[in-house]
Structure 1
């Protein structure tokens, strides 16, 4: 039996960040991941680094994480692009939301600027006519999540971590049993996303399917990450299926198109009905997207906790067992902050932000 200071199960971007942070602290780490590093929910993420302000705890974690992402600005593999975020108001009701959103952001130290209709079209001349205004957050960025996950795992391996290409068959007191019967001994961190209930059935997770479309390379036609101001209604809604306008310029000259959300989807197959709904939503804001060719359409499942906040901390009733999962669409943004929060707790140190809202004890059965 091999003994470690921490056994990280799952190498999506959250698990990878936890492993990297643990090795940076000098811990002896094992990573258990049978599939492609960053190949699950991480590969189905748009990679938007965004301060979501609809929930105070979500806002605190995303703001904390955004500061940590600055270390990746010069990493070529990350495809870090500070394109900024432009929230678009399509009607007067959405325009009326801007002052409150702007106040929340600026009160927290986020640099943001309201723009009227004329300013909106100066920033994005190719938007559809008739939009009412927007909110610009110029310092926000996008990254390529699977490459970042691989980079984080590589850093951990360079510091002496070991990668076990097996399933974690079950947890046991003091460690984990692998698929081949081998045992790893030490504190365990479960970061398996939608598969979390297999090892930790007391922590409910609901899988939410999403579709993404990426175009061929057309050069720069969009300058900012674009979202409709009603995006949060879709993101946090309870509807079985929903779509929202979310378009992102990639440094490659491609355009990444989201976003869709489906609960209770039975498989990972592409649903052309859902893709059509998503594209029609995008065409309302960018009609010329109809002229472009899609290179790829794919899906993934994002893990949603019972209350929309991730589980970050010690698992109640289980000795030396920790969890980092349930981030849904904010896993990329909050991965680095989640890892710091988790490892600080593991080491018994004060955390940079209040960890109580993410304590899995709030829902554990």
Structure 2
């Protein structure tokens, strides 16, 4: 049995890194196990966004974005943090009514929101097609290059990042593929879709997504552009879906999404799905059709049944703590997830009410079956 420090974190993506940093900040020695497997952190857009599908989602996003803003001055430039804001695009009067309701809901929680009419939207983003009814501008949203942000979070003298593939968890003990066992006071599982191999009882479903990035075209857009249909697409429970999501990168490149599929875990780019996604984006920004694309790729989001992460101690495995099921909001909500989980681990009052995120909402029933 080897010493795994005070806490072992399984997973070196953005959520695991944020948990490790929160623990190290409290003086804990943290061992982060990196299996070297594909992670959503490296595949995603890095969009820092407040979604409000339910109050718990809004609270976790809002708290986390404030943490990212607080950290902005500490992060190195290669983390590419920018507070560029999101424009939620309304294609018709019905969607504009949705934008108005969304503006009211976010404003009531203190977020900086502004409704733009058709002409104001055209002035803000001339590359958008004519005829859009308007948009909701959420100024506090931003972007981030998540792989470098995760590396920055792990850069702490009390954090050791080690290549190691965990194959078994027994409470606060972890067995590696080499056969070696590690032990700590607690183990945090933050391994995204790989978490299911260690805990098959977790209700985690992979959602495949495609992304494409262009060559450098500085100044084409300044905000992240998202159609209001993105919300229904993101929470679609079955079947493939696409929605326009166009993000300006600090390099001058444009990052284009988004798609969701339940029926495929193949890492290969699917030309039909990619084409469908790009047609949707071009419908909102016609000039995209003439730009040069340099790379397309896919990733898998780890989704829970209700769209909220599982944050807390496993109800049947004492010593094992869960930080999984973030779907497309892992980068956004990593700081809040870490703060909420670590507060529970230390028996403190969490910064947010924890009930909506507790693993018991899915795993508790199984304990009495």
Q: TM-score, normalised by structure 1?
A: 0.96
Q: Judge conservation of contact 1:72–1:78 (CA < 8 Å) in 2.
A: no
C-alpha displacement at 1:144, in angstroms? Answer: 0.6
C-alpha displacement at 1:34, in angstroms? Answer: 2.1
Cα distance in 1 for partners of 2:304, 2:90 equals 29
Cα distance in 1 for partners of 2:347, 2:199 equals 23
SS of alignment partner, residue 313 of structure 1: strand
Q: Rate the CA distance shift 1:5–1:103 in 2: closer, same or farther, 3 A.
A: same
1:289-311 deviation digits (Å, cap 9, x = unpaired): 00000011000100001211100
C-alpha displacement at 1:3, in angstroms? Answer: 4.3
Cα distance in 2 for partners of 1:179, 1:164 equals 13
Q: Judge conservation of contact 1:30–1:162 (CA < 8 Å) in 2.
A: yes
Greater Cα shift, 116-125 or 172-181: 172-181
SS of alignment partner, residue 243 of structure 1: strand
1:308-345 deviation digits (Å, cap 9, x = unpaired): 11000000111111000100011110001100111111
Are residues 1:35 and 2:33 paired?
no
Question: Who is 2:344 aligned against?
Answer: 345
C-alpha displacement at 1:260, in angstroms? Answer: 0.4
Cα distance in 1 for partners of 2:7, 2:239 equals 37
Q: How does 1:301-340 map to 2 (within 5 A)?
A: 301-340=300-339
Q: How does 1:67-216 map to 2 (within 5 A)?
A: 67-74=66-73, 75=75, 76-155=77-156, 159-186=157-184, 187-216=186-215
Q: Judge conservation of contact 1:72–1:80 (CA < 8 Å) in 2.
A: no
Q: Rate the CA distance shift 1:72–1:3 in 2: closer, same or farther, 3 A.
A: closer
1:2-48 deviation digits (Å, cap 9, x = unpaired): 14221100111001110111111101111111217xx5101121111
Q: Judge conservation of contact 2:31–2:161 (CA < 8 Å) in 1.
A: yes
**How big is the alpha-carbon RMSD for the aligned residues of Structure 1 and Structure 2?**
1.1
SS of alignment partner, residue 263 of structure 1: coil
Cα distance in 2 for partners of 1:351, 1:173 equals 23
- Count of residue pairs brought into register by the alignment: 360
Q: Judge conservation of contact 1:53–1:59 (CA < 8 Å) in 2.
A: yes
Q: Judge conservation of contact 2:265–2:300 (CA < 8 Å) in 1.
A: no
Question: Who is 2:23 aligned against?
Answer: 22
C-alpha displacement at 1:99, in angstroms? Answer: 2.0
Cα distance in 2 for partners of 1:127, 1:205 equals 37
SS of alignment partner, residue 27 of structure 1: coil
Q: Judge conservation of contact 2:27–2:158 (CA < 8 Å) in 1.
A: no
SS of alignment partner, residue 64 of structure 2: helix
Q: Rate the CA distance shift 1:318–1:257 in 2: closer, same or farther, 3 A.
A: same
Cα distance in 2 for partners of 1:237, 1:194 equals 19
1:184-220 deviation digits (Å, cap 9, x = unpaired): 1121110111111111122111000000000000111
C-alpha displacement at 1:57, in angstroms? Answer: 0.7
Cα distance in 1 for partners of 2:269, 2:291 equals 19
SS of alignment partner, residue 149 of structure 1: helix
Structure 2, unaligned stretches of length 5 or more? none
Q: Judge conservation of contact 1:87–1:229 (CA < 8 Å) in 2.
A: yes
Question: Who is 1:8 aligned against?
Answer: 9
Q: Judge conservation of contact 1:207–1:264 (CA < 8 Å) in 2.
A: no
Cα distance in 2 for partners of 1:362, 1:125 equals 46
Are residues 1:240 and 2:239 paired?
yes
Q: Rate the CA distance shift 1:266–1:139 in 2: closer, same or farther, 3 A.
A: closer
SS of alignment partner, residue 97 of structure 2: helix
Are residues 1:230 and 2:229 paired?
yes
